[in-house]
Amino acid sequence: MPDAQSIPTHWYNIAGDLDVAPPPHLHPGTREPVTADDLAPLFASGLIEQELSTETDIAIPEPVREAYASYRTTPLIRARSFEKALGTPARIYVKYEGVSPVGSHKVNSAVAQAYYNSLDGVTRLTTETGAGQWGSALAFACARFGIDLEVWQVRASYDAKPYRRFLIETYGGTVHASPSELTEAGRAVLARDPGTPGSLGIAVSEAVEVAVKDPLARYTLGSVLNHVVLHQTVIGLEAVEQLRAAGEDNADIVFGCAGGGSNLAGLAFPFIREVLHDRAKTRVVAAEPTACPSITQGRYRYDHGDIAGLTPLLKMHTLGQDFIPDPIHAGGLRYHGMAPLLSHTVELGYVEGRAVRQTDAFAAAVEFARNEGIVPAPEASHAIAAAAEYARGLTEPEVIVIGLSGHGQLDLPAYDAYLSGKLV
């Protein structure tokens, strides 16, 4: 059972630990560094403080740790059967976030965001969601902290992938198909194109519009921003300790999938801390889909986080705010940009990108499932594929850590498509 006493007491903020400070977010109008006041209409005060903080260790409030205790610590699994199947001398460890109540790492930040909003007396949160991982995690957290939740879900997912919508509703949240008639942004899109499948960019605009009009409401984001990355460091902080408990000094290399970047950064930053303080030489690989290769193909520049340009300008690896990736099954990786903190560590040489094809990701995931019993989320499958390829090429033992950000039980039709040869 989860070991609540081993849950970290502090999140790790890499922004305070780097020699070169990360570039600030800029106000979209003035292009000056954003201030706490600029962000106040959008986010809870505790989250804004974290967004701008350069403290390295930020205490996890007790109510958040209690919520974590319902599923943390999460397992670090030695994947011996998978090692054998790959024929590698590597020792492969998998940090598995799929044991969370909604089956993914998203809960780690959702719980913190709901908590800080409850401290400010916020009674209503809004957000967008694609496939629904973030929406369902936030619905779980809002039920726990007594906050109403409205989620704008991209119309195409709302219609085609209803399971996570049902999950949000079971937790008591409300889901609107986006674009909706409830906002100016939504009505404008529907007037132009009544049959539109929607997009994350439109859904963001709707959720932001509703939040800023209601003084008791705030908006939340499930990745990209510094405070989200911060919350996800519980993953890596646990993994570093668990690896030691398993008798390993350090990881030689860490693989995680990267969409908005919070999952990989959450796993990797505590390992990079060891590197920064000369205690290890761990490499970090960000596995991203060839369909949306922000790190390997994007430019490192200031860009908006959304299509409508409502968010601050963020210095990041980006394919451009209007880039629309091909529809792949790893919906969580279909984002045009990359977390600024993660992009910064890429620039500093601590993280390297690797693009993985969807079919290669599923091939590795099926091999993993048949050997280790866990069906990976399609997002995490990209990390498994990159790690498997690396492990197969080794002739000497190395310690590999893979971030398994969630299970794929609500994504099984994608596995069916792969197994029956329908996937390209």
Residue bearing tokens 């899109």: 189
Distance CA 50, CA 309 (A): 23
Measured from the CB atom, is 56 or 70 closer to its own copies? 70
Q: What is the DSSP letter of 407?
A: B
Decide if 399 contacts 418 (C-beta within 8 A): no
Contacts of 222 (CB under 8 A, 6+ apart): 106, 109, 110, 127, 129, 133, 134, 137, 138, 228, 260, 262
Interface residues toward its own copies, by CB under 8 A: 1-3, 70-71, 73-77, 81, 99, 101, 103, 140, 143-144, 162-164, 166-167, 169-172, 242, 366, 369-375, 409-410, 412-413, 415-416, 419
For the bound state, the minimum distance from the C-beta of residue 70 to its own copies, rounded and expressed in Å, comes to 6
Decide if 221 contacts 127 (C-beta within 8 A): yes
Identity of residue 105? H
Closest among 359, 384, 354 to 372, alpha carbons compared: 384
Measured from the CB atom, is 110 or 287 closer to its own copies? 110
Measured from the CB atom, is 9 or 174 closer to its own copies? 174
Measured from the CB atom, is 365 or 386 closer to its own copies? 365
For the bound state, the minimum distance from the C-beta of residue 306 to its own copies, rounded and expressed in Å, comes to 29
Measured from the CB atom, is 36 or 412 closer to its own copies? 412
Segment (H or E) for 117? helix 107-119
Contacts of 140 (CB under 8 A, 6+ apart): 101, 102, 107, 110, 111, 171
Decide if 230 contacts 50 (C-beta within 8 A): yes
For the bound state, the minimum distance from the C-beta of residue 368 to its own copies, rounded and expressed in Å, comes to 10
Distance CA 424, CA 415 (A): 12
Measured from the CB atom, is 2 or 28 closer to its own copies? 2
Measured from the CB atom, is 58 or 86 closer to its own copies? 86
SS3 347: helix
Closest among 8, 269, 227, 215 to 110, alpha carbons compared: 227
For the bound state, the minimum distance from the C-beta of residue 80 to its own copies, rounded and expressed in Å, comes to 9
For the bound state, the minimum distance from the C-beta of residue 353 to its own copies, rounded and expressed in Å, comes to 28
For the bound state, the minimum distance from the C-beta of residue 217 to its own copies, rounded and expressed in Å, comes to 20
SS3 178: strand
Measured from the CB atom, is 173 or 260 closer to its own copies? 173
For the bound state, the minimum distance from the C-beta of residue 415 to its own copies, rounded and expressed in Å, comes to 5
For the bound state, the minimum distance from the C-beta of residue 418 to its own copies, rounded and expressed in Å, comes to 9
For the bound state, the minimum distance from the C-beta of residue 374 to its own copies, rounded and expressed in Å, comes to 5
Measured from the CB atom, is 35 or 170 closer to its own copies? 170
SS3 295: helix
Q: How close are the terminal C-alpha atoms of the chain, in Å?
A: 40
